[in-house]
Every structure is written in C-alpha cells, then in structure tokens.
Amino acid sequence: MRSKLNLPQDKIDRARALAASICAPVLEFIEQHTTVTVERATLRLLGADGASPDGIPVPNLVVDALRDRLGEGVAAWYANALLQTGLEQAELDRRIAEGFSIATLPMGDRQRALELASELAARNFARIDANRAFRQAKQEEYKGRNHSPLLYLIVATGNIYEDVKQAQAAALHGADVIAVIRTTAQSLLDYVPYGATTEGFGGTYATQENFRIMRQALDEVMERERRYIYQTNYASGLCMPEIAAMGALERLDMMLNDSMYGILFRDINMYRTFVDQRFSRMINAYSGIIINTGEDNYLTTSDAFEKAYTVLASQFLNERFAYAAGLQPWQMGLGHAFEMDPSIKNGILYELAQAQMAREIFPEHPLKYMPPTKHMSGDIFKGLVMDNMFNFVSKATGQGIHLLGMLTEAIHTPFMMDRHIAVETALYVMNGIDAIMDEIEFRPDGLIVRRAHEVLDRTVQFLEEVERIGLMQSIEQAMFADIARPRTGGKGFEGLVPRLETYANPVEDRLERALGLAH
C-alpha cells in the first residue's frame, strides 16, 4: 500500500513502543490473577454443560462451590470429581445441576486429575480445529464473492427465531456479516443464560444454543448464495471468556472484543476486564476469530474532532494487548467511526484524513468502520446522505469491515427494508468509486495531510502522558472517553482472584503453547 499521507514512520514506531510499555505492567498483573469467568470458560472448554432447574449453568455451580479454591484453578477439581465418582461427564454434570457439590470430594491424585482435564480439553479443541478448517475451506471455495469492505448488518429482535428470519433476509440482500445484538444489559450478567431464548429487550441473549441456531441458518444462505456469511456476537462484559468459548465451539467468525470497553462504558471493574480480555482473546486467536474493538464508542462521549487522538491511541493499545494474546494482524478489526458533527466545515475531509491515517498505520488489519449515529437526528433524508458520505470514505480508504448506516437511526430498530436500502446505496457508491484512490493524490501541505499528521503527533504526546502515569491511573483520571472509573470499583471486582503458586489450567496451557505464548 503506497502512502498518501507520508506519515513519519519513526512516530508510528514510537507510538507502538509506548503502547508496549503501557501494556507491560497490566500484562504482568494479568499473569498473576484469574477470575470466576476465566474458570467458568475453562470448564466450558473441558465440556461442562447443562443448567439447574433454576437456569444456573453448571460452570457457575462448580465455580460457586469452589469459590475458596479458585486460586488453584478449577480444572483439577472438576476432573478429580470424575475420577472420584467414576461417573461419565454428562452424568456428573446432571448431578451437579441437581445440587451435588464437587467441593465435598477430597482431592485424589492431582497430577492424574490434571492429565484427565487435558484429555477433556483435547476433545473440544478438536471441535474448534474442525470449525476453523471448515471456515477456511469455505472461504477458499467462495473466494472473491464477498464485498470489499465486508458489508455488516445487525439483527436485534429479542427472539432468536425472528432473528433468523431477518438475518437470512439481510444475507440474501447482500450482507456479508450478520451481527446479533445482545439484549440490553446482558454484559452485566455474571452468567450465560442456557438454551434458546425468545424474549429480550433491544437484542437477543447470547447463548450457545442461540449461536448454534444462527450458524445453521446462515450456513443455509451461504450454500445457496455461494458466498461465505460471517456470524458475529459480543465477547464482552462479565462473561467475556465464556462467550468467546461458546463462539469458538459454534463457529462464529467475528466477536466484539475490546480491552477497555467494559471498563469505560459498562462500569465493569478494570482489573476483572483486563484479565478476562486476555483469556477471551487467546480463545479467539486459536479459533481464527476476528475481533472487533470498540473505539467508535469513544466518540459517543467525546468530541470526534477534538478527541480523535484518543481513538488512535486506543487502537495502538488494543493492538498491543491483541498481540500479547496471540492474535494475528488479520484478526484485529480495530474500530473507529464516522462521527464528526456534520456542521463542521470540511468535516468530511477530516473524516477522510482519520480513516486514511488508520488504514496506513494498520495496513494488515481489517479495520472495523462504524457509521454516523451520534448526530443522526431522525431526518431520514439527511441521514441517508450522511450514511452515503460514510460509504464514500470507507470505500475510498480501504476499510475492511463496514457496518452499514441506517437512514432510520434514532427513530426505531431498522426494518428489513431499511437494511435493503442501506445495502443498495452502499453498493452503488462503492461500485461507482472503486478505483478512486488510484486517481487521487493529497497535497503535501493540504488539509487532509496536515490533519493526519496533527492527530498522530497528538497521539504520541497522549501515549507519553499515559505511560508516565500508568494505564489504570489514566482511566481513573478520565483520559479515555472523558469517563473516570476507579480501580477497585465497578461491577465484578469480587470475581477477581490472585493465582496461587499451585495454579494449574490445562486449557490455558494448551492455548499458550499453540499460540507461541508459553513461558
């Protein structure tokens, strides 16, 4: 990719070095801790399944029973229960769901228990391996049939069976990526509901059965259209690692997974979030899932013109945390958004500068570009124009994942016809300007180039300040998204657990070995 902005490589390198320095102490903290949901995700990848009559998942029941032993890791205790009782795994899970506590069993041969846990993990990793191989085979078979950028549409009815109808219609209209929005506040639930669900507010519960149902439906369209259809959900909130595990098992292709989103926008404890995000990202890395980060959300609380540098800074930090979890550049859908106040003179040129800057700094990453929402007024005619300027900038700058804007944003949940209009207008714009950047050069002293250089300069200065005081202190001081969060406050802090020297986790060991992260 030939640069049009002539950004100084030494400043880009400086920003990456600062991001590595900023993330290092956080990664050290992560290594020393586990959480209740890391342990529950571990159980899910050992095959623990089912729920009590009250709907409490078996992994939650096990972790709750072993609450005072989590510093050792739950894997050995779960496998020990299989050895001590002689039960098949499904039968043990059934008894746990009925009220049996494995904490009542003494630990037998711990090493044998860990070996059995590793064997249990191998079964589910084989399933994940098969999912990844199937995805790669289908993508190769249908190579060249997806749009560029990938066209991303959402469904959010609250009923998984209604979601299926809307998702299939959207895919048939031309969408490449279908995202199922989670029901309001699911990110704050410290458990994952069990089974298929038909009620939700503003979205549908993320459950493993719902993932399976949607995957089957999208595969039907994929075979009919001869085009790979990507499925997306949210590996975020208090159950981030568990949802990543469910996505891996059911062959999701993308997952929203940010290093700081839960801290800033859901008031989830920062310690808990940082630990959970690394484990979830290792699962995503192993599974071949593309993560979507949440920098677009910064611009809903901060001004997109004045605070553009915080978006770029977060992209550098998300990239660093992603590398530390074994993700490859092609799996890093770093986020940003077309969110400047439309009254700003030359605002579209500033958006073009920001998008082109991100594309040149992260050339191998499938950048996730978000449409205007903050300044959508309910005027559908103006909204359609704003969305199509967004379409123009996205195509011109070579974004990777394009969340289609809706002319009815700020009015209601989009109808199927709204999505159809979004696809048709996006394809019209993108087809009409396909080679535009091959024909255009930017003036070296012009507004676009100056703006990109200014944002990069300000980003480096900002990262230098964050390095000086530390990432966690920076969050406490509202340096990101103008939102302050305390270190020991927020939801889920009680679920953070220091690791003991005896801590063992065969699932994590397998992930780290496979991803080249083993110590």
Contact between residue 452 and residue 359 where contact means Cβ atoms under 8 Å apart: no
pLDDT reported for residue 519: 63
Q: How far is CA 240 from the centre of its chain?
A: 9
Does the domain at 1-31+293-485 match CATH 3.20.20.440? Answer given as: yes
Q: Contacts by 501-505 with C-beta closer than 8 Å and gap 24+?
A: 502/71, 502/72, 503/34, 503/71, 503/72, 503/73, 504/72, 504/73, 504/75, 504/76, 504/114, 505/34, 505/42, 505/73, 505/75
Report the pLDDT value the prediction gives residue 410, as an integer from 0 to 100.
84
Average pLDDT of the residues of the chain: 96
Residue 491: the pLDDT is: 97
Whether the link from the prior residue into 149 is cis, omega within 30° of 0, is yes
- Quote the tokens at residue 51: 């729920």
Beta strand pairing call for 368-370 and 401-403: parallel
Summarize the confidence of residues 400-404 as an average pLDDT. 98
C-alpha span between 100 and 173 (Å, rounded): 50
Contacts by residues 13-21 (CB-CB < 8 Å, ≥ 24 positions apart): 14/460, 15/312, 15/313, 15/316, 15/456, 15/459, 15/460, 15/463, 16/316, 16/319, 16/320, 18/316, 18/460, 18/463, 18/464, 18/466, 18/467, 19/316, 19/317, 19/319, 19/320, 19/463, 20/320, 21/467
Catalytic residue among 261, 271, 298, 503: 261
Average pLDDT estimate for 433-453: 97
Q: Provide the pLDDT for residue 2.
A: 81
pTM above 0.95, yes or no: yes
Q: State pLDDT tens for residues 57-100.
A: 999 999 999 999 999 999 999 999 999 999 999 999 999 999 99
- CB of 30 closer than 8 Å to CB of 274: yes
pLDDT of 142 > 70? The answer is yes
- Measured from the Cβ of residue 496, the count of other Cβ atoms closer than 10 Å reads 22
Q: In which residue are the tokens 């190769």 written? A: 140
4 as an active site residue: the answer is no
pLDDT bin (cut points 50, 70, 90) of residue 477 is: very high
The model's pLDDT over 349-366, given as tens digits with 9 standing for 90+, comes to 999 999 999 999 999 999
Q: Considering 296, 309, 350, 387, which one is annotated as catalytic?
A: 296
> Is 296 marked active-site?
yes
Beta bridge partner(s), residue 230: 177
Which phi and psi (to 5°) does residue 139 adopt?
-65, -35
Which segments of 32-144 does DSSP mark as H helices, in order?
36-46, 58-65, 75-85, 89-98, 110-141
Q: Percent of the chain, pLDDT > 90?
A: 96
And the tokens for 412?
Answer: 């209601």
Contacts of 459 (CB under 8 A, 6+ apart): 15, 309, 312, 313, 316
**Element containing residue 256 per DSSP (H, E):** strand 254-256
| 68 has catalytic annotation | no
Q: Which one is catalytic: 4, 307, 368, 491?
A: 368
pLDDT of 208 reads 97
Q: pLDDT tens digits, residue range 292-328?
A: 999 998 988 899 999 999 999 999 999 999 999 999 9
pLDDT(478) > 70: yes
What's the pLDDT tens digit per position in 22-51?
999 999 999 999 999 999 999 999 999 999
| φ, ψ of residue 65 in degrees (nearest 5) | -70, -30
Consecutive H or E run containing 18 = helix 9-31
The confidence band for 412, taking pLDDT boundaries of 50, 70 and 90, is confident
